[in-house]
Amino acid sequence: MELGFSLQAKYDLPMEQVIPLLKNAGFSAVSPTWTSESDLAAISACIREQGMIIQSLHAPPKGIPVLWQEDETQSAELLGTFFKCIDMCAQYHIPTLVIHGWQGHNYAFPSEPLYFGNFDQIVSYAQRKNIAIAFENLEGEEYLAALMERYPGAGYCWDSGHDSCYPHKTDFLKEFGHRLIMTHLNDNLGPGDPSVPLSSAVDKHYLPFDGNLNWDDCIRRLKTAKKQNILNFEFKIKPNDRYAHLPLDAFIALAGSRALQIAERYATII
């Protein structure tokens, strides 16, 4: 079982120092997030120098609702960014692009037919470039369901923390587990006070066992899905106050230890 690590956009150390720390902590795969400031060429070179692989690239998580709009003046810029992400995946031999289907807690799912034009272009372009698309569970579960239904060739990315803190009516891991190609494993404290409007503040991305998730249950559910050769973890050292006292090297070492515990359970739990 190999371990993967989803990179945040920035750390207190440069990426050429972060990547070796990940290797020393037991991670063999890395998944960057695309930003306009990221030097993916340098990151890719550093990863490969360490004998590691790039498992996926995460598309920009913000602004997704405009992709559901037919007005090209609203969606053109973000659509172009997604095309850039696919091009980068092809250029740097990254097999998978992870995409959010929605972003934002306050929404009303429309009763009229959805506009899929932008996503049609994204999925079609990825197919031409031989890049897999993995749609991730987050807010807006109806949009995720619609995308998974429309694109049966697309994969699924399961985020264990989102599964906990953004309660869904649908068990997406059960529904789309046979299409699972990527994991974002992390912990949190659940959805919080039901009398308080849901916000991204509940999405902590803690290390396993620092939150309320029942990891034996999570792993049993995960074992019913398509087998994963790489378990990828998505943690945040910032802005989590829980880890503010830790230097980055100590945080990454602890992350590797916790990830290994999950991988061992994944290998043994029936």
pLDDT digits (tens), the chain, 270 positions: 899 999 998 899 999 999 999 999 999 999 999 998 889 999 999 999 999 999 999 999 889 999 999 998 899 999 999 999 999 999 999 999 999 999 988 889 999 999 999 999 999 999 999 999 999 999 999 999 999 999 999 999 999 999 999 878 899 999 999 999 999 999 999 887 666 667 778 899 999 999 999 999 999 999 999 999 999 999 999 878 899 899 999 999 999 999 999 999 999 987
d(CA 202, CA 162): 9
**What's the confidence (pLDDT) of residue 195?**
64
* Three-class SS state of 201: helix
**What's the confidence (pLDDT) of residue 45?**
96
**What's the confidence (pLDDT) of residue 54?**
98
**What's the confidence (pLDDT) of residue 2?**
97
Q: What value, to the nearest 5°, has the Cα angle with vertex 32 and ends 12 and 237?
A: 40
- Distances in Å between the Cα of 18 and the Cα atoms of 53, 80, 88, 233, 235 are 15, 30, 21, 15, 14
Q: Are 110 and 74 in contact (CB under 8 A)?
A: no
**What's the confidence (pLDDT) of residue 269?**
83
- Listed in sequence order, the DSSP H helices in the chain are 15-24, 40-49, 72-91, 117-128, 141-150, 160-165, 172-176, 215-223, 248-268
Q: Decide the pairing of beta strands 180-184 and 53-54.
A: unpaired
The two structure tokens encoding residue 28: 């063999």
* Three-class SS state of 180: strand
The two structure tokens encoding residue 211: 């939150």
**What's the confidence (pLDDT) of residue 159?**
98
DSSP β-bridge partners for residue 5: 30, 233
